[in-house]
Structure 1
Amino acid sequence: MKTNKRIAILQPEVPHYREEFFNLLRQQCETSDVYVYNSFKSTKQQGFNIDTKGLKYIPNKQLKGFLFYNPFPLLSKKYDTLVLMLHFAHLTTWLLLLTKFIHRKKIILWGQGISVKRYLKEEKKPDWKLKAQIALADGVWLYMQKELEQWKQIFPQKQMVALNNTLTGVSEMCNYVPELSKEELKKKYGITQEVVLIFCARFESNYRRTDLLVEAIKRLDKNRFGFVIIGQGKNKPDFFTFDNVYDFGAVYDTAIKRELFSLSDIYFQPGWVGLSIVEAMAYGKPIFTFVRSEETKQCVEYSYIQSEYNGMLFETIEECVGYISHIEKEKLADMGQNARHFVNNNLSVEQMANHAISIL
C-alpha cells in the first residue's frame, strides 16, 4: 500500500543487488529519490553492474575518508524525510542533524551500526561518534538484528528497525530448480570429485583469509573434494597448481552461476563473509567459515550463520579439515535445506522494504 511519505536517500552508489529494494520503496512512497555521491564511472570500475536510471548525483568533496556533500538538493520541499548514512565521517550529515530545528526534516540514519574491522571492540563499547549521531537522529535503519539489540539497550525509546540485509532476486534463487541432476551438472563442467565446495566473492579485500582457503585445498583429499572458485581480484591466489580446483573467474552469466551452485555441496569462505552468504543459502548451500576473531574478521551478515543448523563455524584449520573430511552428505543436505528455508522465511526483499517503511 502506498504511503504519503516523501523521502530522499543518500548512498555512495546503488549496486545491482540493492535495486529491488529501492524499487519497492518507490512503489510504497509518494516520493522516493536516491542520491549517490560516487560517480557512475567509479562505481562501474568497482565491478558493480548498475542501472543509473532514476539516480541523482549529489555534488561532493571527499578527502582522506571525510565527505562533504551539497545539502541543498536534500532540503527541497518535496521531501519530508532524509535517509542518510550512519557514518561519522560524513560532515554534512552532522550539519543536517544539528540544524533539524531549522529545516524541519525527519532524519533516519542507515548503516551497520558497528565497524566490522573493530567489531570485537565495538560490540563491548560502541563508537561514541555513532552514539552521538544516533542521539540526534529521529530513527535508525540497521542491517542486522544483533546490532539493533545492542543499540536498543542504549536508546530504548528510539525508533529503530533491523532491515535483515538481503539482495535483489533472492526469492528467485530460493525457487530455482536446475534442469539437470547434480551428477549431470558435474559431468557438464568436468568435475569428478564426490563433494564440491564453492567460493563466490571478489578477491579484493585483504580480509578474505585466502590463506585458509588455500590451506583447506592442500589438506583435503583431492580425489574426494573439489573446489569451484568464482571471482576475480588483485588478491586472488594462483589456483592453477591444484588439480581439484575449478576456477571460473568472474561469472556474469546467471545460468552458469546457478548451475555451479547447484552442483556444489558447501559454500566455503574462510573470512569476511557478507551478502554473498545470503546468495549461497538461497541456493540451498550451508555456510562454512571461521569464528570471528582479530585474525579473521567477518561482516555483519555473519550472524545469519547458526552452527550445525545452516552452516559451520570453525576455530582452527585442523578442526575445519577434520569436520569436512568426515561429514555425511545427508547432513550437508539437511543444513542446506535449513539455509534455504531461513532465507525464504526471513530474507525476502519485500520484508526488508517493509521493515524500512515501518519507522518512516
Structure 2
Amino acid sequence: MIAILQPLVPHYREHFFNRLQEQAPFDLYCYDGVDALRKRNLAAGSTTIKQLPAWSVGPFVLYNPLRFFKRDYKVLVLMLNFAHLSTWMILLLKPFLKQKVILWGHGISVKRYVQEEQQPSRLLKWMMQLADATWFYTPKEMALWQQVMPEMKAVALNNTISEVEKIMQQPLPDKAALREKYQIRSRRVLIYCARFNETGRRIDLLLKLMAETDPAEFSFIIIGAGKYKPDFNGYTHVHDFGAVYDPTIKQELFGLADLYFQPGWVGLSAVEAMAYGKPVCTFKRTAEVLQCVEYSYIRDGYNGLIFENMEECLYMLDKLSDDEIRTMGQQARWFVQEHLTMTAMVDNALHSLHTMNP
C-alpha cells in the first residue's frame, strides 16, 4: 500500500490522482479542509481523500504521523517542505519503520529562487538525503539538485493540469466569430487567467501595460478572482469575466485571444495557455519579479516571450506579426503534447513508485 500526503486537492490536480490510483492504489491524506480551498479561490477536485488531523503555526505544520504507522503502508509520498515537522520525525525514524519515503516538491523556494539557484537550501538537502527518492515538479530544479547530489534518486514529474489533453483535442476556434460574439474587435487581444491571491503576480505591471496601450489597438481579457484583484472598471479595453470554471466559456475566451500575458508568478497557467495554443508572455525572473517553477517551460521566442522590462514588452507586443504569433502558438501546443500531458506526468510517478522495493 501507498500513502500520499497533500494539503488539499484542487481541481487542476484531481486527474493526476485519479489516474494514478487506477494503476498504483493509494490512500490520499489531506490536512487542510474546504475553507482553505475557498481562501485560495480554488475549486475542489473530485478525488477521494482521508482527512488527517494537523496543527499549524505560521509556516510550520505538525500532522499526525501515527496514521501512516497503523496501516501497512510500504511507501509514503510526503511533501518536500522543511516546515513539516512530522515529516522530519518520519525521516529520522525511517531506519526503524521499514517504509520507503518519497519527497514531492518544487525543490526550491519561489520567493528565494534567485538566491537558492546559486546556493540550494541545506534543510531541503538534508531531507532528500534522508529520503529514498524525490519527485520534482520540473526538470530544471531536478538538474540543479543533481549538480549538488549526483547520486540522488529522483524524477521530474513535469507538472501539468487535469484537463490538458481535453483542451488540446478541441478543434481550432473561429477567432473572428468569437470576437464578434464578445464584441471585442481590437487588433491584438491579450488574456490573463490566474488567481489574484499573490502579490508576486505583479498586477502593478499588468495595470501599467493597460495604461500604456492604445484601447483601439489592444484589449485585455481577465479571468480570475482573489483578494488582490484591482478594479478594472476604469479601463474601456479590459473585459473582466471573474472566476470562470465553465470549460466552454474558457475555451471561447482563450480562442478569441492572441497571447497569454501574466507579468509574474507564472505557474500552471502557462501550461493551460500553451495547451490552448497561446504564446506565454511574461517578465524575466529577478529578485523583484518572482516566477514559479513552471516558468522554465517558457522558451523565449519559441513558445512565448520573456521581457526584460516594460519598454521591451510594449515594443515587442506592437511589432509582433500574426504569423509570428501563430507559429509560437503552434509550438506552444507541440511543447505541451511532447512534455506536459497528464499521461506523461502519471507515467513519471509510476516509474518512480515501481523502483520502490521495500
Q: TM-score, normalised by structure 1?
A: 0.96
Q: Which deviations, in whole Å up to 9, do the C-alpha atoms of 1:30-72 show, x marking residues without a partner?
A: x311100102333244322214652001111111211111111
Instruction: Please tell me whether residue 130 in structure 1 is matched to residue 146 in structure 2.
Output: no
Distance in 2 separating the partners of 1:157 and 1:28:
28
Distance in 2 separating the partners of 1:246 and 1:66:
40
Distance in 1 separating the partners of 2:5 and 2:29:
5
Distance in 2 separating the partners of 1:301 and 1:259:
24
Match of 1:315 among 296, 303, 308: 308
In the other structure, the counterpart of 1:258 is 251
Instruction: Please tell me whether residue 47 in structure 1 is matched to residue 41 in structure 2.
Output: yes
Count of residue pairs the alignment pairs up: 353
Distance in 1 separating the partners of 2:277 and 2:66:
46
In the other structure, the counterpart of 1:156 is 150
In the other structure, the counterpart of 1:11 is 6
In the other structure, the counterpart of 2:324 is 331
**SS of residue in 1 equivalent to 2:266:** coil
Structure 2: gaps of 5 or more residues: 354-358
- Cα distance, 1:272–1:51 mapped onto 2, change above 3 Å: closer
In the other structure, the counterpart of 2:19 is 24
The answer (yes or no) to whether the contact 1:85–1:109 under 8 Å persists in 2 is yes
Task: Compute the displacement of 1:220 (Å).
Answer: 1.8
Q: Which deviations, in whole Å up to 9, do the C-alpha atoms of 1:102-152 show, x marking residues without a partner?
A: 111000000000000000000000011001000100000000101100111
Match of 2:78 among 77, 81, 84: 84
Q: Give aligned-pair identity as a percent.
A: 48
Match of 1:73 among 48, 67, 73: 67
Match of 1:205 among 198, 208, 216: 198
- Cα distance, 1:345–1:7 mapped onto 2, change above 3 Å: same
**Structure 1 residue runs of 4 or more that deviate by more than 3 Å after TM superposition:** none
Distance in 1 separating the partners of 2:131 and 2:326:
45
- Cα distance, 1:102–1:304 mapped onto 2, change above 3 Å: same
Structure 1: gaps of 5 or more residues: 1-5
The answer (yes or no) to whether the contact 1:203–1:232 under 8 Å persists in 2 is yes
The answer (yes or no) to whether the contact 2:274–2:332 under 8 Å persists in 1 is yes
In the other structure, the counterpart of 2:161 is 167
The answer (yes or no) to whether the contact 1:40–1:52 under 8 Å persists in 2 is no
Distance in 2 separating the partners of 1:261 and 1:22:
27
The answer (yes or no) to whether the contact 1:197–1:264 under 8 Å persists in 2 is yes
Q: TM-score, normalised by structure 2?
A: 0.96
Match of 2:278 among 285, 295, 306: 285
Letter paired with 1:157: E
Task: Compute the displacement of 1:190 (Å).
Answer: 1.0
Aligned pairs (5 A) from 1:208-357: 208-357=201-350
The answer (yes or no) to whether the contact 2:13–2:45 under 8 Å persists in 1 is no
The answer (yes or no) to whether the contact 2:41–2:195 under 8 Å persists in 1 is no
Distance in 2 separating the partners of 1:106 and 1:334:
46
Distance in 2 separating the partners of 1:84 and 1:240:
44
RMSD between aligned residues: 1.2
Distance in 1 separating the partners of 2:46 and 2:341:
23
**SS of residue in 2 equivalent to 1:14:** coil
**SS of residue in 1 equivalent to 2:311:** helix
In the other structure, the counterpart of 1:56 is 50
Letter paired with 2:17: F
In the other structure, the counterpart of 1:195 is 188
